[in-house]
Structure 1
């Protein structure tokens, strides 16, 4: 498969030709936007039915609905042909399908904080609040995958969008470690995000999460040292990504009160667990 640079060179040298191939799933990709809108949909469903089970829509969709649909639909063996790649790169529809995840993601986060704080006269019991936390955490976990896609792009604005997507979970160092660490060391003992033969998911979680953090900091420190810049500065992509999380949480706590802090931390932990579980399964020996 050609690299992104190769595609750009081909596009610069000749106009992109519209291929005969058509993406039959083109508009199906928009179903991905169902996930970040789960909180307003859950709120509306609870208001309409009085059933608190809808606060658990995230776990139900991700661990029941999607696996069942995946089983019923079966494997997708169709890939776009080589001749369509340059055209797909130029089609902004797919980029916007990714961009739109972020405003929906933060709409759900803000609405959840409002609900946790008792907004609108909604009184969430412990079970309902936990269900909402798991739903928001699921949205945050998928947002890390959105950040993964945006972080691979060459455009600086898209890379900043990647950091914004990661701010909800406080996992901004993923932007550095995944692109410059994991891809260079995948499936080697040096890669914290590659699970080892016989390693439990619990052991992997701690090794991957803390190992990824250490690796990201080391990568940024070396990069800045080469540029004769200080590691402890906002030029450090780990620190400026974490600063976004600090600013986000500070605003949410100022607006909705400190009582939402346990739920904020809980949803972030759920999002990180979702990512690392996927990493574990993807690279399990």
Structure 2
């Protein structure tokens, strides 16, 4: 991997730097800077720097795969997330912000919280206990711990089929999808956990049920933060639980917006009743924009991730054959918030993909290439 790209991943810290730095340099009027940066500045940088189609050379693969530098980056975000939560509580409790400025700060921090779910996503696919604990800590901070169960055991199994609540249907709006995935994914996680408990011989209503822990731990964290800052302020700090819930909600909706644009309308062929073709790199939308890929740890190379879920972010590959989004994720999320614009932009691309996917010869050729 070229040094420019390797050290370019340090750009992932830029959102955090903007949120905190703009507050101290510009004051309370700049509490919305994180949102402006993520959805205004990053798309402009994507346009300036263009796309990155480079892949790690085969002779460098093992070296890049085992380079601890890339691990330090993702693990550091878990600790930075909790530091940001504490900083946000401090500013909201002790700084003289207006209600509008408080709301803007909560949303800005919520945008960063959306990226921490991406970190949990990366770590949650790793088998080590260390990685799994950090993935759970990351998801705890945004009240979305059941994601670890549903994403690995549900979404990756059923993606691009009617069984997957995190796959958007053609002509389904982002807002309808939010309801589908929030409710459906939780139900799916509960069913998966119930099945695992039955297999292990444990009752559902017991301390062995991770779903019960995942529901209670975020509440305990919110209570602990509220109690700590209430003691420091000498009065009940009601803004703290509102902040914790607000930033969690923003982060969750951003994560599910990413799911929407990654899988919009893509379907796998049903090769037998209830059985679908194997997931391959044709089954997710991708974006090759250089800057947003650095910020998102190459999440936009999503097809390779679904085809090979255990592949760490630094060695994910770009394939021209995968369906491509016209812009990076930040701009695509904004477009998804305007359904008529989204349908006008994406439906022709989806229909072109469907026409191409109808060719069995083309699919088999592509799958063999990616194997």
Establish whether TM, by shorter chain, passes 0.5.
Answer: yes
User: In structure 2, what is the Cα distance between the partners aligned to 1:233 and 1:90?
Assistant: 39
The reply on whether 1:187 has 2:160 as its aligned counterpart is yes
Q: Is residue 2:7 matched to residue 1:27?
A: yes
Q: 1:151 aligns to what? A: 124
User: In the alignment, what sits opposite 1:254?
Assistant: 227
Cα distance, 1:183 vs. partner? 0.4
Which has the larger share of helix?
Answer: 1
Cα distance in 2, alignment partners of residues 244 and 36 from structure 1: 25
Partner of 2:252: 272
Q: Which residue of 1 aligns with 2:200?
A: 227
Contact 1:172 1:241 in 2 (8 A): yes
Q: CA RMSD in A?
A: 1.6
By how many angstroms is 1:233 displaced?
3.3
Distance 1:22 1:201 in 2: 37
Which sections of structure 2, spanning at least 5 residues, go unmatched? Answer: 230-236, 266-371
Could you tell me the TM-score, scaled by structure 1's length? 0.86
Out of 93-102 and 243-252, give the one that drifted further: 243-252
Q: Give the whole-Å Cα distance in 1 for the aligned partners of 2:31 and 2:9.
A: 25
1:192, 1:127 → 2: CA distance?
34
| Aligned twin of 1:36 | 16
Mapped contact 2:32–2:104 kept (Cα < 8 A): yes
User: 1:230 offset after TM fit, Å?
Assistant: 2.5
- Mapping for residues 125-140 of structure 1, pairs under 5 Å: 125-140=98-113
Q: How does the TM-score come out when normalised to structure 2?
A: 0.66
- Say which is worse superposed, 151-160 or 85-94, in terms of deviation: 85-94
Moved over 4 A (4+): none
1:92–1:242: structure 2 CA closer, same or farther, 3 Å change rule? farther
Structure 1 position 127, deviation (Å)? 1.6
Superposed displacement of residue 90, structure 1: 1.4
Instruction: Determine helix, strand or coil for the equivalent of 2:246.
Output: helix
Find the aligned partners of 2:106 and 2:239 in 1 and give their Cα distance: 13
Q: Structure 1, unaligned stretches of length 5 or more?
A: 1-20
Q: Say whether the 8 Å CA contact 2:114–2:250 is kept in structure 1.
A: yes
Report the equivalent of 2:275. none
